[in-house]
Structure 1
Amino acid sequence: MKTTHKLKKFFLTLTILIISIASITLLPLGLTGCGQTSKIDKTNNTKSNSSTTENTSSTNPNKTNTATSSINSSEISNKVEQIKKSGVLVLGTSADYPPYEFHKIINGKDEIIGFDVDIAREIASDLGVKLKIKDMKFEGLLPSLQTGKIDIIIAGMTPSQERKKAVDFSRNYYQAEQKFLVRKSDSNKFKSIDDLKSLNIGVQKSTIQEKIAKTKIQCANVVSLGKITDLVLQLKSKKIDGIILEGPVATAYANSSDDLEVANINLGKEDGVAIAIKKGQAKLLDSINNTLERLIKNNKISNFIVNSTKLAEDN
């Protein structure tokens, strides 16, 4: 009897011990589970409280969104005012692209000129401000626009779908054919795009011409550089076989160099060129488009192109 009692007591103690161990073992899991639930609940509660605060602070449940929209609208409308207040419109360009934009010594001073610059001056004039030009490599233009270092880009830029994801564009103000600049001694070698197969093709980095070389020319070895002038040096030293350029640019370089010529190859027309601005600046975009419409209507852009081409030929 005594032995039986001891056995019962032993099994009771053992059972209690097992239950205790199981409880201790499961405790962290329970805590973890509670912790996770608590974290989710806390997040949900915070969101709920935030929503409640928004709703109770106004009869309009979208007060916070409206406020954000107001701030954004204010920033959009203020860009034109900011430019007018500063008295300066900052143009970003890559001045190695005659007759669009290029360097020329005028009265002993290095000036950036071209029909893009003429257009920029008209835009600045319509805004009642002066024009400041920042010259940089083409691939640096979009980042500079995004960070606010420049206000607009006018640089013979094609408004591709990829670029439209990052910036807003004006209406197109010019459209040109794509041409192939070669050494004059090689010009008879090139009659069609098939003749460019497996050649060393020069293009400016991050341009529509780079895309053409990579997608339309079979087995091309594409040489992408930041400056057209560097590509021309590569062409003259026979490191590349030719350069894809817009028609007016190719013609300008050919006319300014006795050993270069534009090959008789049809590489197609581009989608046109436009002016880029930071996304959301609607009033600035309207002002730019109004200026462009006036210039196109009055045939001013055509005159700018003729004059700039003549200046580029004399360069």
Structure 2
Amino acid sequence: MKKWGILLVCMVMTASLLAACGQNKNNKESASGNDQASGNTGSKKTLIVGMSADFPPYEFKKTENGKVEIVGFDVDIAKEIAKDAGAELEIKDMTFSSLLNELDSGRIDMVISGLSPTPDRAKQVGLSNIYYKAEQAVVVREGDKAKFSTLKSLENASIGVQTGSIQEGIAKEIKGAKLTSLPKINDIIMQLNSGRVDAAIIEGPVAESFVKNVKGISIADAKPVTEDEGYVVGVKKDNTELLNQVNTTLDRLKKDNLIDQFVQKASTLAEE
């Protein structure tokens, strides 16, 4: 009878221990689930940036060891923003004209793609401080360089521009100009070389990069003028936390003269 009593006590103790272990396990799983929901898993968050990777030296595709990568000084800036935010960077390549809509929809977190701070854009998205300034340029066929020496000489000409760009707005102000708006600058250069357009209005460093790498084109003396000479980072309108982080990073990069270094590095890379 004693043996049965001892056996019963052992069984009760074993059941209690198993129940306690199960409870501890459930508590741990519950805590783990709460950590995942709050993003405290120890893994980095992801910052998604939208770019139109046909804009050297800002952002462009480069093949290294058989692998195509998006490089450029906008990419370097995006990496610094992600680093300061403690996030992994993901780059999404898309047409320039779709960037702000993708930002609005929440499919990307920010836009860094030679974006000018126009009043209309400021109404749609949050815009950072200006991080870089550059002039606009008129690209023509080499044989037509003397023909387009002033902005007035572009009147009634056919002009290629990137869809949704500040250059498109500049071209619309030229009297009698016939616009060909295309999503990719590569396509605009092809139109120019084939004689389908007389000229193309492109941001200065980008124009210089194409002239160095594409035969038969040149930068004309005609100089477009715009009030929106600077470039900014775009974020979702109500994302003030990210906007503040972006501006903090940009201030640091400008203070340390790193943006100019990024530009020089990207320009050299674009010429290779």
Same fold (TM over 0.5): yes
In 1, distance between residues paired with 2:210 and 2:133? 19
Counterpart of 2:200 in structure 1 is: 243
Runs of 4+ in 1 over 4 A off after TM superposition: none
Deviations 1:92-116 (A, max 9, x none): 0100011110111112111100100
For 1:260 and 1:130, locate their aligned partners in 2 and report how far apart those are by CA, in whole Å.
39
What does residue 238 of structure 2 align with?
A: 280
Q: Higher strand share goes to which structure?
A: 2
Quick one: distance in 2 between partners of 1:308 and 1:107? 18
Q: For residues 105-120 of structure 1, what are the structure 2 equivalents within 5 Å? A: 105-120=63-78
Distance in 2, matches of 1:92 and 1:255, equals: 26
The aligned residue for residue 213 of structure 2 is 256
Q: How many residues align?
A: 232
* TM-score, normalised by the number of residues in structure 2: 0.83
Note if contact 2:139-2:219 (Cα within 8 Å) is conserved in structure 1: yes
Confirm or deny that 1:203 pairs with 2:166.
no
What does residue range 49-64 of structure 1 map to in structure 2 within 5 Å? none
Any unmatched runs of 5+ in structure 2? 1-38
Hey, which of these two has a bigger chunk of helix by percent? 1
Offset at residue 187 of structure 1 (A)? 1.1
CA contact (8 A) 2:192 2:200 kept: yes
State how far apart, in whole Å, the 2-side matches of 1:131 and 1:171 are. 21
1:302 aligns with 2:260: yes
**Computing the radius of gyration over CA atoms, which structure comes out larger, 1 or 2?**
1
Write the distance in 2 (CA, Å) between the matches of 1:303 and 1:260: 27
Show the counterpart of 1:190.
148
Q: Which amino acid aligns with 1:258?
A: K
Instruction: Specify the alignment match of 2:175 in structure 1.
Output: 218
Distance 1:160 1:306 in 2: 27
Aligned to 1:64: none
Structure 2 CA distance for aligned equivalents of residues 281 and 87 of structure 1:
16
Higher relative contact order (CA 8 A, sep 6+): 2
TM-superposed deviation, 1:271: 3.2
Q: Report the aligned-residue RMSD.
A: 1.4
Checking the alignment, whether the CA contact within 8 Å between 2:44 and 2:86 is kept in structure 1 is no
Secondary structure in structure 1 of the residue aligned to 2:115:
coil
Letter in 1 for 2:188: L
Residue 238 of structure 2 aligns to a residue in which SS?
Answer: coil
The residue number in structure 2 matching 1:231 is: 188
Structure 1: runs of 5 or more not aligned: 1-80
Which string of whole-angstrom CA distances, capped at 9 and with x for unpartnered residues, describes residues 259-312 of structure 1?
Answer: 111111121253311000001111111111010000000000001001111111
Give the deviation of 1:159 after TM superposition: 1.1
TM-score (norm 1): 0.72
Quote the offset at 1:87 in angstroms. 2.1
Q: Which amino acid aligns with 1:236?
A: N
Percent identical across equivalent pairs? 44
1:148 to 2:106 alignment: yes
Matched ranges for 1:68-147 at <5 A: 87-147=45-105
Contact 2:161 2:179 (C-alpha < 8 Å) held by counterparts: yes
Confirm or deny: 8 A CA contact 2:44 2:88 kept in the other structure.
no
SS of alignment partner, residue 261 of structure 1:
strand
Letter in 2 for 1:245: I
